[in-house]
Chains A and B, each alone.
Chain A
Amino acid sequence: MQLSHSEFALAPAAERRRFVLQARPATLDVAARALGLGDTFAMLAAAAAGAVTALRLGPQEVLLLLDPAGADDGLSALRAGLAGVAHSLVEVSDRQVGLDLSGALVEAALASLTSIDVAVAAFPVGMATRTLLGKADGVLWRTAPDRFRLEVWRSFAPYLSGLLDEAARDAVF
């Protein structure tokens, strides 16, 4: 799955192991400290340290993206920090695929799929949220002013990349 126009490109993201951590907000704070990501995961924001990137998608939910090289260290730190505390940590590596979207038309392409405002003022770099893209759920994370990471369920990827391709072509005119 790879698309490229002059001002819009879509490419598979680097391989990551993915985990969904669900717990009470206070427990998530403990997890943030265990992973060395500060005192708390900021709402709807990404935080990264070492091999671990955490996207806080809701008050009770964090999506963890781990570089396979350092994933085991991060996971053991997390498990040690959360030992004896009620939480749910589920691996979803194969459920989702990551797509890297980049180029000057990336905002225009996304804006035709989602109802949220993707302009930098409303969706700053580092913000991450789940939303509806077309008819499919997806996690949208802005990694740079003209770059987004899309985390979608595997079977939605052809549908979404097709829609984004069409939208980027339309946005040229």
Chain B
Amino acid sequence: MLLIRCPYCGERSEIEFANGGEAHIARPADPMSRTDEEWAQYLYMRDNPKGLIAERWRHAHGCNRFFNALRDTRTDRFVMTYEMGRPRPEIDAATAAEAAR
């Protein structure tokens, strides 16, 4: 059972959660001033890294809140979860290496 730590409810099973895609993608303040390429970049283009990714998750069968998580896409290990609105946290190399292990 893969546990995910909801910032509000604590550790719960993965089946209670829904993934919300990559986090920290800001909607352009003035869409009309953007070119089609810039708008497509915002709408569709994602980093899809092999390694650490910051994602949105929602505790769909719990408190129903969105939060952000740092996860390693190779191992599915969650480094940490944090509340919406906070910037992506910096983590040190040792923690990143542990997540990749």
Residues in A lying within 8 Å of B, measured CB to CB:
43-44, 57-61, 115-116, 129-132, 137
Q: How far is the CA of A129 from the CA of B15 in the complex (A)?
A: 15
Q: Total A-B residue pairs with C-beta atoms closer than 8 Å?
A: 41
Tell me if A's interface is mostly helix, strand, loop or mixed.
Answer: strand
Given A43-B8, A129-B62: 16 more A-B contacts, CB < 8 Å: A44-B9, A57-B64, A58-B9, A58-B62, A58-B63, A58-B65, A60-B65, A61-B63, A115-B13, A115-B15, A116-B12, A116-B13, A129-B9, A130-B63, A131-B16, A131-B62
Interface range on chain B (Cβ under 8 Å from partner) = 10 to 19
Q: Mark B52-79, 1 if CB is under 8 A from A, else 0.
A: 0000000101111100000000000000
The 7 closest A-B pairs by CB, nearest first: A58-B63, A115-B13, A132-B61, A59-B8, A130-B62, A137-B61, A132-B16
Residues of chain A lying within 8 A (CB to CB) of residue B8? 43, 58-59
Name the interface residues of B1-57: CB closer than 8 Å to any CB of A. 1, 8-9, 12-13, 15-16
